[in-house]
Amino acid sequence: GLFQSLADGIKLLGKEDLIPKDADRLMFRLAPYLAFAPVFAAFVAMPFGPQMTFEPRLSTGLFLILAMLSLEVMGVILAGWASNNKWSVYGAMREACQMVSYEIPLGISLIVAVMVAGTLNLVLASHIQGGGIHTWLIFRNPFIFAAFFIYFVASLASNKRAPFDLPESESELVAGFHTEYSGLRFSFFFFAEYAAMFIVGGIQAALFLGGWHDPFGLMGYYHRQFTANPDDVNVAGLVLLNVIGAAIFITKAAGIMYVQMWLRWTLPRPRIDQVLYACVKVLLPMSCA
């Protein structure tokens, strides 16, 4: 299954691209790009390694990522509305409800970690966790440990992942907001969802799970050694360190993606009113506490 996404992309490239007769053609065409582009723009601030990132120039990288991810909902609502299909409109409205609801506990749970790290820069937040697994923010105190799981649940709803996949629930809405999409335009929604899964996993890895650091603190130790003398930086060592760091970071983010996929086949889908109840009366008070 490693090349499933690549095979799907090639298959969808060759499929016929249809636009319903009564759809709003301009908005129908614009929606996939609004869903696709912001998610991939968020990769700019992902801290893959101490030097393998653009974020040293971005003092508020986390804020940028959240701002980019919040734009995706515009593409989903536009897709549902422009399709001129009742199933699509239902899916779009459900996504609007979920996004408005779950972004609040998601943001609050991240603020908990940001207050401890003292920065919105994910590179600096990762450097703080370079002393080994005991310095990772998730183990700093019980409140951050709880915030980690609140963020994970809220991110599932934010990404339309099961059990919160109400905007595209096949058993009720055919395919929800992208019912009328086919070919390459459908693939944009497909790839945007999986890219967003990696992004939220990357945020968790950077803010809570030590970023590119290993559990033994070796990455932090060698980075300090290679950069101790500004006049004689070990370039070869730094390149190798960044490659290993990127592999560790991607492994952590992919592990969180694996759990998201695993839950898809494990948990049943709740009703939309239960989804909103879980946010407003369960996650929101927990995140505030």
| pLDDT of amino acid 256 | 93
| pLDDT of amino acid 170 | 67
| pLDDT of amino acid 56 | 59
Count the residues in the chain. 289
Nearest to 192 by CA among 40, 88, 14, 81: 40
- Reading the chain (289 residues) residue by residue, the pLDDT tens digits are 778 878 877 887 887 777 778 877 888 888 888 888 998 888 988 999 888 887 656 678 899 999 888 888 888 888 888 888 888 888 888 878 887 788 899 999 999 999 999 989 899 999 999 888 999 999 988 999 999 999 999 998 887 777 777 766 666 666 677 777 877 888 888 888 889 899 999 999 999 999 999 999 899 888 888 888 877 788 888 899 999 999 999 999 999 999 988 887 788 888 888 888 888 899 999 999 9
Whole-number Cα distances in Å, 191 to 8, 65, 75, 231:
10, 17, 13, 44
Helix H segments across 45-85?
Answer: 61-82
Task: Give the chain's radius of gyration (CA, Å).
Answer: 20
Residues 88 and 47 sit within 8 Å (Cβ to Cβ):
no
Give the Cα separation of 71 and 37 in Å (integer): 9
